[in-house]
Amino acid sequence: QKEVEQNSGPLSVPEGAIASLNCTYSDRGSQSFFWYRQYSGKSPELIMFIYSNGDKEDGRFTAQLNKASQYVSLLIRDSQPSDSATYLCAVNRNGGFKTIFGAGTRLFVKA
Amino acid sequence: DAMVIQNPRYQVTQFGKPVTLSCSQTLNHNVMYWYQQKSSQAPKLLFHYYDKDFNNEADTPDNFQSRRPNTSFCFLDIRSPGLGDAAMYLCATSLIQGRTDTQYFGPGTRLTVL
């Protein structure tokens, strides 16, 4: 079992729709959770982080965390073609040095 | 603007010819990381520096070395690149404080091995 698992996609949504990206992790001791966006050929760019169970909103993005289910998700409202990218989920145990990344979900937003 | 800079952005080397990639940061972060990322794969941590303390991942090949001469700079040396070392190399930094480890990435160096 991979430490951080994501569906590789591609996930295809029409412009203006809500894109829902999911991630599961295996280490119950994980405390910090991150979502990065990575355009093709570029480096990962931090979108947001979440530490507590529940929802955290930032603009069109909402991160959701459920530690009991070891599940974290990212919702993108009013999806735009410019949101087309790979979204990486990353998990850190407790402020330590090792953050584990998933392989990412490719999102395609159709105009 | 505070940032993480990597040079060069593209590097072509020959099989077995040593290569050095550089990373610099103006964020004054105390941790610097090197990752290797191949197509459609997760970034793979090679090693990190916490201040001057070097920490190597157990599965990082000996072919990969790193230097951090000061807080701002970190180098990745690949002593004898093989075809399998062709990848994007990502430098990241973070400021360890409390429970957070939010990492910020540089633009990456795309390494091609001929």
Mean pLDDT of B55-80: 95
Identify the residue among B9, B91, B101 best suited for mutation to test binding to A, counting A beta carbons within 10 A and taking the highest.
B101
Shortest Cα distance from B5 to chain A (angstroms)? 12
Q: In angstroms, rounded to a whole number, what is the distance separating the alpha carbons of residues B93 and B65?
A: 18
Work out the pLDDT band at B99, boundaries 50, 70, 90. Answer: low
Helices (H) and strands (E) in chain B, counts: 0, 11
| Contact (CB<8Å) B48/A101 | no
pLDDT value of position A95: 62
pLDDT value of position B101: 76
Which residue in A17, A21, A26, A25 sits closest to A7, CA to CA? A21
Mean pLDDT of B46-63: 93
- Which H or E element spans position A64? strand A61-66
Is B58 part of the contact surface with chain A (CB cutoff 8 Å)?
A: no
Is B39 part of the contact surface with chain A (CB cutoff 8 Å)?
A: no
Q: Where is pLDDT greater, at A16 or A1?
A: A16
Shortest Cα distance from B6 to chain A (angstroms)? 11
Q: In angstroms, rounded to a whole number, what is the distance separating the alpha carbons of residues A49 and A10?
A: 23
Residue type, B80: S
Identify the residue among A43, A45, A46 best suited for mutation to test binding to B, counting B beta carbons within 10 A and taking the highest.
A43
Q: Tell me the DSSP string of B42-92.
A: --EEEEEEETTEEEE-TTS-TTEEEE-SSSSEEEEEESS--GGG-EEEEEE
pLDDT tens-digit profile of A40-61? 999 999 999 999 999 999 999 9
